[in-house]
Amino acid sequence: MIPFNRPLVLGTELDGIAQVLRGVSFSGDGAMTKQCQTLLEQHCRVRKVLLTTSCSSALEMCALMLDLQPGDEVIMPSYTFVSTANAFVLHGATPVFIDIRPDTMNLDENLIEAAITPRTRAIVPVHYAGVSCEMDAICALAAEHGLAVIEDAAQGLMASYKGRPLGSMGEAGCLSFHETKNYHMGEGGALLLKNESFSERAEIIWQKGTNRAQFLNGQIDKYTWVDVGSSYLPGELNAAFLLPQLAELEPVNLNRLSGWRHYYDGLRHLQDAGLLELPQIPAGCEHNAHLFWVKCADLAERTALISHLRERGIQAVFHYVPLHSSPGGQQFGRFCGEDRFTTVESERLVRLPLFYGLKQVEIDRVVTAIESFFKDRRNGKGKG
Ligand SMILES: *Cc1c(COP(=O)(O)O)cnc(C)c1O
């Protein structure tokens, strides 16, 4: 069986964990957390990074920092994970979903302006598959209309846009270290802050609404409740698991990229023959091989392909059910404009197994299975 994902384990994670066990502190904001944050600050070239319990909680911290009021609106794609919307709904705002571009499955930057109303507060680009949204256009529009840009870069560590790391271009960026992502700590995430202005308040929100961080730094002599906040800090054991993975950012990325490339080269002839579609990486975008997707003709063909692969011991999966057509999305948000691509494109997309350590012979097996699927279909077998 070739699983869809195998969470990254390098083996070196035990060293850091042993170090924590020998120490005296297990709660958040300790030495392991600080080392993870410093590595990420250097890599992502941002002012401040706060390690969080998830990308969902990093997004929620952004919602708190925006001081959202009921009726405020946040523009985002409908083709995303529920957390992108939930974070803002939890703090009173209405997600306004816009359509995506079929080439990257990212929000269509040309549709943002029409979705802006006097209640709009932020734009939330989601960098699907670690392929960047058109950030120049998005940031220019946000500046023109006085909106914040909050990047959902859950899938984006090691990817960039015109040389700038994903998550470093908006007022804030949110990474995920869930086990399904390229680097992980079981459950976890990080909040990336470009400027000083946001970072002080973010640290207070992170520390349960207290000025504990300033107190520990000796900047103030009283540790007290000063703002809203919650417990967004992961414990040191989780940070210790993540740290060695962050020390191997490049080798892990290269391994994934070579798997991605192997799929692409193996499947290109099927695209040339008009049988399926492969991802397109726009100029200026360096992706991180977070996932490899292919698009079938339609939902029926995708369903057939997934079961064809399953019968051959290969686990391929689909996502996302567009948020605007889910019960939650209907209750809490609204779609602006026409759904030209979100629904039809999401129904055609299937993700193939891709993880660190996936062997080329395994990828060859997947490619051969996909070839046999389309051969059967061309010969009339398996239709209907
Ligand atoms: C994984 C993911 C999230 C949620 O990440 P968690 O760390 O599990 O909260 C949010 N948005 C996108 C686009 C994701 O892929």
pLDDT score for 301: 97
Cα 153 to ligand 1 centre (Å): 8
Q: Which residues partner with 317 through β-bridges?
A: 351
Taking only the tens place, the pLDDT of each residue in 54-78 is 999 999 999 999 999 999 999 999 9
- Which one of 217, 246, 275 terminates a domain? 246
Cα 45 to ligand 1 centre (Å): 21
Assess whether 67 and 172 both reside in one domain: yes
Cα 161 to ligand 1 centre (Å): 20
**Beta-carbon-side half-sphere exposure of residue 143 (alpha carbons within 13 Å):** 8
What ligand 1 atom has the least distance to the C-alpha of 155?
15
pLDDT-based confidence at 381, cuts 50/70/90?
Answer: low
* Residue 28: pLDDT over 50: yes
Residue 376 is encoded by which pair of tokens? 């059967």
Assess whether 142 and 222 both reside in one domain: yes
Q: Does any domain span residue 60?
A: yes
Assess whether 221 and 311 both reside in one domain: no
Instruction: Based on DSSP, count helices (H) and strands (E) in the chain, helices before strands.
Output: 14, 13
Q: What domain count does the chain have? A: 2
Assess whether 17 and 44 both reside in one domain: yes
Assess whether 164 and 178 both reside in one domain: yes
CA–CA distance, 80 with 133 (Å, rounded to integer): 13
Cα 56 to ligand 1 centre (Å): 6
Cα 196 to ligand 1 centre (Å): 25
Separation of first and last alpha carbons in the chain: 27
Record the pTM: 0.97
Assess whether 40 and 180 both reside in one domain: yes
Nearest to 132 by CA among 288, 318, 347, 322: 288
Assess whether 213 and 254 both reside in one domain: no
Assess whether 223 and 340 both reside in one domain: no
Cα 157 to ligand 1 centre (Å): 12
Assess whether 228 and 296 both reside in one domain: no
pLDDT score for 221: 87
- 124: amino acid identity, one letter: V
Taking only the tens place, the pLDDT of each residue in 170-194 is 999 999 999 999 999 999 999 999 9
Assess whether 253 and 297 both reside in one domain: yes
Residue 44: give its domain's CATH number: 3.40.640.10
Q: What is the average per-residue pLDDT within 241-263?
A: 98
Assess whether 22 and 100 both reside in one domain: yes
Find tokens 């996936």 and name the residue: 358
In angstroms, the Cα distances linking 41 to 46, 135, 173, 194, 195 are 5, 20, 12, 10, 12
Out of 5, 52, 53, 56, mutate this one to test ligand 1's pocket (max ligand atoms within 8 Å of CB): namely 56
Residue 68 is encoded by which pair of tokens? 């959202």
pLDDT score for 384: 43
* CA–CA–CA angle 270, 3, 9 (5° rounding): 120
| Domain span including residue 312 | 249-378
For ligand 1, residues with CB inside 6 Å are 54-56, 80-81, 83-84, 126, 152, 154-155, 176, 178, 189
- Which one of 225, 246, 267 terminates a domain? 246
Three-state SS at 146: coil
Q: Does any domain span residue 235?
A: yes
Across the beta sheet with 164-165, the strand order is 164-165, 160-161, 285-286
Residue 319: give its domain's CATH number: 3.90.1150.10
pLDDT-based confidence at 382, cuts 50/70/90?
Answer: low
Nearest to 157 by CA among 356, 9, 290: 290
Q: Does any domain span residue 192?
A: yes
* Residue 380: pLDDT over 80: no
Taking only the tens place, the pLDDT of each residue in 67-108 is 999 999 999 999 999 999 999 999 999 999 999 999 999 999
Residue 60 is encoded by which pair of tokens? 């929620």
Out of 5, 81, 82, 133, mutate this one to test ligand 1's pocket (max ligand atoms within 8 Å of CB): namely 81
- 108: amino acid identity, one letter: D
- Which one of 246, 273, 300 terminates a domain? 246
Residue 151 is encoded by which pair of tokens? 């990047």
Assess whether 145 and 287 both reside in one domain: no
Q: What is the average per-residue pLDDT within 251-268?
A: 98
Q: Does any domain span residue 384?
A: no
